[in-house]
Chains A and B, each alone.
Chain A
Amino acid sequence: MREFFHRKLERSAIGFVLAIIGVSAIGGFVEIAPLFTIGETVEKAPDMRVYTPLELAGRNIYIREGCYACHSQMIRTLRDEVERYGPYSLAVESKYDHPMLWGSKRTGPDIARLGGKYSDAWHVAHLINPRDVVPQSVMPRYGWLMRSELKTEDLGRHLKAQRAVGVPYTDAQIANASSDAYGQASPDSPYAGGVSERYGEATNVRAFDGEPNRLTEMDAVVAYLQVLGRLTDAAQKQAAAEK
């Protein structure tokens, strides 16, 4: 009888290595590669804007503190989720998210559409001690955000790296990254005007942490939370069209 073919394969280390690589490569290739080539994968949203330097800094603090471990940013296409959180998330909404923060667990609620839902003051109080505003909350306190000055001198490099991975930041946006970060949280300063000029009139320009003269990490985080779900209104438009 002919030898069972696997007996032969077992006698060749290199053959076995190649077989493992070949067999394991198929699945990932079939599922991932087309996502880059099929146009419908990501919807078109001409009004989509990029994060301002301050919002990007806030997003990086969100990542640093591991917020994604308890908060998702992905509303599924289920009735109860749409009623609880708002229109379901579209792929285009995280088009500029390197990396994405869809999350995998909701110890706290989804925050894909958090922007504009609460006041800045509520967010500041909530971040300093969540139990002051939501007595049953188990969220950690983030008091040090208010105590730490935001580092801004490296923001130009951040925007440059973002552009290298595909986010369309302009030269002017990169050159003014640090001053735009300051201006967005100091509405009365001379730097404030450039922010709406470069990122659009709808951009929030406010003293997010309530202290216009200091640029803190709290400013950045609140600026980020207030823009969640507001970079484009593609999802709201789609929801209206479906009705």
Chain B
Amino acid sequence: MIAALTIAERQRAIAISAVLALCGFAMTIAGSDTLFAVHGAIVLLFSLGCIGLVMSQYFAPEPSDERLTRYYDDPTRVGIVLSLGWAVVGMFFGVWVAALLAWPDLTFDAAWASFGRLRPVHTSGVIFGFGGNALIATSFHVLQRTTRARLPDQFSPWFVLIGYNLFCVLAASGYLMGVTQSKEYAEPEWYADIWLVVVWVVYFLIYIRTLQRRKEPHIYVANWYYMAFILVVAVLHIVNNLAVPISFGEAKSYSLFSGVQDAMTQWWYGHNAVAFFLTSGFLGMMYYYLPKRAGRPIFSYRLSIISFWGITFMYMWAGSHHLHYTALPQWVQTLGMTFSVVLLVPSWASAGNALATLNGAWGKVRDDATLRFMMVAAVFYGLSTFEGSFMAIRAVNSLSHYTDWTVGHVHAGALGWVAMITFGSLYALVPWMWKVERMYSPKLIEVHFWLALAGTVIYVFAMWNSGIIQGLMWRTYNDSGTLAYSFIDSLVAMHPYYIARTVGGLLFLLGAIVASYNVWMTIRMSRSQPEAEAGDADLPVLQGAALQAGE
């Protein structure tokens, strides 16, 4: 890996790591005995680790120019492994917090192990750790294949991948220590947020530099989605995280916005994190790996245009449906509801486009669990976008909001759509990346598929039941015209569903462990066998080393 870097790139890696190490050291000094100093120490150790890694092979011979005739896939390989690692960690914390709602004392008598601190480790672990790493890894792969251009250099992809994981580590360790700004899905504090902006700018530059050198005249639809993901997430992240720290040596900061404006900004962010992180990015994945695996072209080019611009335009209006019947002015609520309902059109255009692409390949869907993962993902995408539009209607929302129904809806999307499309794509990608004919065990993919599907269905049904029961109990009146149930009555009624939800989550976690084992064994298999032709025409179609011209 390091040996594939040029000497100049190795020096750049060491120099940037050293700068980062200095930042960590400065944080440690400035923070004296606060949690800020602990994070400084983590940054310091992390960057020293990077320096050590580069130094270990610093004197390896330089790679030949022949490397420029091949795509650069090392960051993708590492990204896949990191993504699966975060999946297991994030889902483990998910099962733990799920269990805590059924058995609240299933933990240690320590601050770090209480529900409120563990929960964001779960949400950030799966969204940013698992999802984010998968997006970065696949985007580098898809970008090169669809532009027929090599990544612009070999250092910046590493900066993005490693830097992004440093952000994830700061986030997760911060939550356990009590560092959070409480904005849902934007919990990390100001310094981690600034660091993510730096990483993100480099990510965008990689994208645009590669696109500018593309050999294909047209930018493929998958890249539209990856670009929307990168650009809009940057805007959302910067605006929602505007804050004033109490000093430059402490972690705590206060949000620039307050009350109703803060609520609207937060859910403009929150809902579009769903739109542009968990939808747009993964649609990019789907538009490449699904047709590739099915061996069929995308059903309709025009549908993909309609759905892309529809999603990009309309999602940004939908955030206020999180605030129905609150102190947010009603005109904003109504706008949010309207656009949320119309959003069904572009969403189903994408889901339908994916399923229609499979026409003529249904035999493959039956026999190939990898393709089936993607098919089921498209179905769940269609289902949860329908559910989302439905729940955004004010009258429905009056029942569903604040209940487990929302949690069920989120997991129909996160497990059924995001995780399924990711696992399907990774199963397709791993053999190409490690140059083996197929995954170590197709049987285990089949096992994983059924574990994941069963887990999702159990989870979602449990939450539908509990959410609707909760919502109904809260608003039920008895004959004398007073409320029929106390709050605690509704909580007691949730108990069986909370157990069922834990079981569903556990099945899904087991599936992720099976996947990690399968990928690990595939990597080992690739080491023990002579380099075979990859099973797919995924080999480079680069002509000559001129690809880096202009850089």
Contact = CB atoms under 8 A, between A and B. Distances in A.
Interface in A55-103: 60, 63-70, 72, 74, 76-78, 80-81, 83-84, 88-103
Contact of A134 (B111, B212, B254, B488): B488
A214 interface: no
A164 B260 CA distance: 18
A138 interface: yes
Interface in B289-324: 305, 309, 312-320, 322-324
A122 interface: no
Contact of A16 (B109, B182, B219): B219
Contact of B117 (A13, A14, A17, A66): A66
Contacts of B339: 27
A138 B260 contact: no
B265 interface: yes
A86 B105 CA distance: 31
A172 interface: no
Contacts of A41: 260-261, 329
B260 A100 contact: yes
A157 B116 contact: no
Contacts of A80: 474-475, 477, 483
A154 B250 contact: yes
A137 interface: yes
B305 A6 contact: yes
Interface string B469-486: 000001101000011000
A93 to B, nearest CB: 8
A171 B492 CA distance: 49
B261 A137 contact: no
Given A42-B259, A77-B325, A31 B268 contact: yes
A13 B211 contact: yes
B261 A35 contact: yes
Interface in B192-244: 208, 211-212, 214, 217-219, 224, 227-228, 231-232, 235, 239, 243-244
Contact of A140 (B100, B227, B474): B100
Interface stretch (A105-113, A185-193, A205-213): A105-113
A24 B329 contact: no
A31 B336 contact: yes
B107 to A, nearest CB: 7
B197 to A, nearest CB: 16
B499 to A, nearest CB: 12
Contact of A65 (B116, B183, B256, B261): B116
The B contact surface, by secondary structure, is helix
B182 A104 contact: no
Interface string A120-157: 00000000001100101111111110000000001001
B120 A66 contact: yes
Contact of A142 (B100, B114, B483, B498): B114
Interface in A192-235: none
B459 to A, nearest CB: 16
Interface stretch (B16-24, B73-81, B83-91, B399-407): B399-407
Contacts of A157: 246-247, 250
B63 interface: no
Contact of B259 (A24, A100, A141): A100
B227 A17 contact: yes
A89 B326 contact: yes
A75 B245 CA distance: 30
Contact of B219 (A13, A64, A98): A13
A138 B235 contact: no
Given A95-B258, A165-B256, A31 B319 contact: yes
B312 A20 contact: yes
Given A28-B316, A98-B254, A160-B246, A140 B114 contact: yes
B266 A99 contact: yes
Chain A contact residues (Cβ within 8 angstroms of B): what range?
35 or more
Given A84-B483, A94-B258, A66 B217 contact: no
Given A24-B232, A27-B313, A66-B115, A137 B259 contact: no
A102 B488 contact: no
Contacts of A25: 235, 316
A161 B251 CA distance: 13
A83 B109 contact: no
B257 interface: yes
A38 B232 CA distance: 27
A160 B295 CA distance: 62
A139 B116 CA distance: 10
Contacts of A31: 264, 268, 317, 319-320, 332, 335-336
Nearest to A107: B101
Contact of A27 (B224, B316, B407): B316
B178 interface: yes
B29 interface: no
B65 to A, nearest CB: 26
A131 B246 CA distance: 37
Contacts of B309: 23
A109 B175 CA distance: 24
Contacts of B228: 20, 24
9 contacts: A11-B219, A17-B231, A28-B317, A31-B320, A66-B116, A66-B119, A80-B477, A99-B182, A157-B250
The 10 closest A-B pairs by CB, nearest first: A66-B116, A27-B316, A27-B317, A76-B325, A94-B259, A99-B255, A91-B327, A13-B211, A64-B178, A106-B402
Interface of B: 100-102, 104-105, 107, 109-111, 114-117, 119-120, 175, 178-184, 208, 211-212, 214, 217-219, 224, 227-228, 231-232, 235, 239, 243-247, 250, 252-266, 268, 272, 305, 309, 312-320, 322-329, 332, 335-336, 339, 398, 401-403, 406-407, 474-475, 477, 482-483, 487-488, 491-492, 498
